[in-house]
């Protein structure tokens, strides 16, 4: 095989490597100017009560429109933002933008919805996080109860005592917390019971093959019953099919999020959904979007 590749093969390989390092540098350069350039935006994905079918909240999800590379997904730049520390100013922008949006919906007379914001490890560990959240709330005259922070197990376990302390501070402020991607990270069950959280989000990898994979079913059922025993609500993410929805409903899961109801959409589209749901436009709440 080495012979097949030969000298050219090797050169090709190194050029590829350089391209990816170069690409990373280009992205990082772009990331530095993206905030000032107004290249970030937030989309919002509905969170729905499984039993009533009503949207009760939304999750803010960041989007980056790069002038040359087009839409760069968060899976490609959040880690880079973490590494470089840029997640701190970007995270502030996310918090302020999400809070401003929630206040705008409220001021437009729309029914209240919880605004969930993802917080990544370095952002969570930064010492002024709790103040930063407070500032975003105050700047927009928003009640803390209107905001939820999503964190992952991995993030909490990096420094358990510190994380639980910070979560308790947020909770004392009135902000609710949920564990994102539950089941994919590592957290001991004894640690889980000390988390001051309100919701477990079952990772979408278990929801994806819920219809035909006994292992995923077992995990989903275990998370639902564990969550309920701990007095938590359980949300399933990545619900795409009616079959998945029915399985979750029949097995007492509380909430869902996924393409079946709606993809992440603009603030204007959320306002439209809320209006329809409230019957303001005379239409019924959509079972599906």
If binding is defined by CB under 5 A, does position 150 make contact with Mg ion? yes
Q: How far is residue 286 CA from its own chain's centroid?
A: 23
148 binds Mg ion (CB under 5 A): no
Helix (H, G, I), strand (E, B) or coil at 266: coil
Q: Which helix (H) or strand (E) holds 42?
A: strand 40-49
Count CA within 13 A, CB hemisphere, residue 98.
34
Structure tokens at 179: 């564990």
Of 148, 180, 254, 255, the one binding Mg ion (CB under 5 A) is 180
What CA–CA distance (Å, rounded) separates 201 from 256? Answer: 9
Stretch 84-123 residues interacting with Mg ion (CB under 5 A): 118
Query: Does residue number 153 form part of the binding site for Mg ion (CB under 5 A)?
Result: no
Residue 252 carries which DSSP code? T
State yes or no: residue 255 binds Mg ion (CB under 5 A): no
Pick from ligand C2E, Mg ion, none: which does 238 bind, CB < 5 to 8 A by kind?
Answer: ligand C2E
Nearer to Mg ion, 118 or 187 (CB): 118
Closer to Mg ion at the Cβ: 117 or 146? 117
In the complex, the residues that contact ligand C2E under the rule CB under 6 A are 45, 60-62, 73-75, 78, 94, 118-120, 150, 180-181, 204, 237-240, 257-259, 264
DSSP element (H, E) containing 225: helix 214-229
Distance CA 6, CA 157 (A): 47
Q: What angle, rounded to 10 degrees, do the helices at 160-173 and 129-139 form? A: 20
Nearest distance in Å: CB 44, Mg ion: 12
Phi, psi values for residue 180, rounded to 5°: -85, 155
DSSP 66: E
State the Cα–Cα distance between residues 165 and 188, nearest whole angstrom: 17
Instruction: Pick the closer one to ligand C2E by CB: 129 or 224.
Output: 129
Query: Which stretch, 43-51, 119-127, 185-193, 232-240, contacts Mg ion (CB under 5 A)?
Result: 232-240
User: Measured from the CB of residue 180, what is the shortest distance to ligand C2E in angstroms?
Assistant: 5
Considering CB distances under 5 to 8 angstroms, the limit depending on partner class, which of ligand C2E, Mg ion, none binds residue 6?
none
CB-wise, 107 or 209, nearer to Mg ion?
209
Q: Interface residues with Mg ion (CB under 5 A)?
A: 118, 150, 180-181, 237
């Amino acid at each position: 095989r080495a012979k097949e590749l030969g000298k050219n093969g090797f050169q090709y390989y190194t050029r590829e490597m350089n391209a990816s390092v170069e690409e990373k540098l280009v992205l990082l350069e772009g990331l530095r100017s993206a905030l000032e350039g107004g290249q970030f935006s937030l989309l919002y994905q509905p969170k729905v009560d499984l039993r009533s079918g009503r949207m009760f909240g939304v999750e803010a999800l960041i989007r980056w429109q790069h002038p040359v590379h087009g839409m760069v997904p968060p899976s490609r730049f959040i880690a880079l933002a973490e590494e470089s520390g840029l997640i701190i100013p970007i995270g502030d922008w996310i918090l302020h933008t999400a809070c401003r949006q929630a206040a705008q919906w409220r001021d437009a007379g729309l029914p209240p919805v919880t605004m969930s914001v993802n917080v990544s490890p370095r952002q969570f560990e930064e010492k002024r996080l709790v103040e930063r959240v407070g500032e975003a709330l105050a700047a927009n005259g928003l009640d803390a109860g209107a905001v939820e922070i999503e964190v992952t197990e991995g993030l909490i376990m990096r420094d358990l005592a510190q994380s639980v302390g910070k979560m308790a501070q947020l909770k004392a402020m009135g902000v609710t917390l949920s564990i994102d991607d539950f089941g994919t990270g590592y957290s001991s069950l004894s640690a889980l019971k000390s988390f001051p959280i309100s919701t477990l989000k079952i990772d979408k990898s278990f929801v994806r093959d819920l219809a035909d994979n006994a292992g995923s079913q077992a995990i989903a059922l275990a998370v639902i019953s564990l969550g309920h025993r701990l007095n938590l609500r359980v949300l399933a993410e990545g619900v795409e099919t009616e079959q998945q929805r029915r399985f979750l409903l029949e097995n007492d899961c509380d909430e869902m999020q996924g393409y079946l109801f709606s993809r992440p959409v603009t603030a204007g589209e959320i306002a439209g959904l809320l209006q329809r749901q409230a019957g303001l436009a005379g239409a019924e709440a959509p079972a599906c979007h």
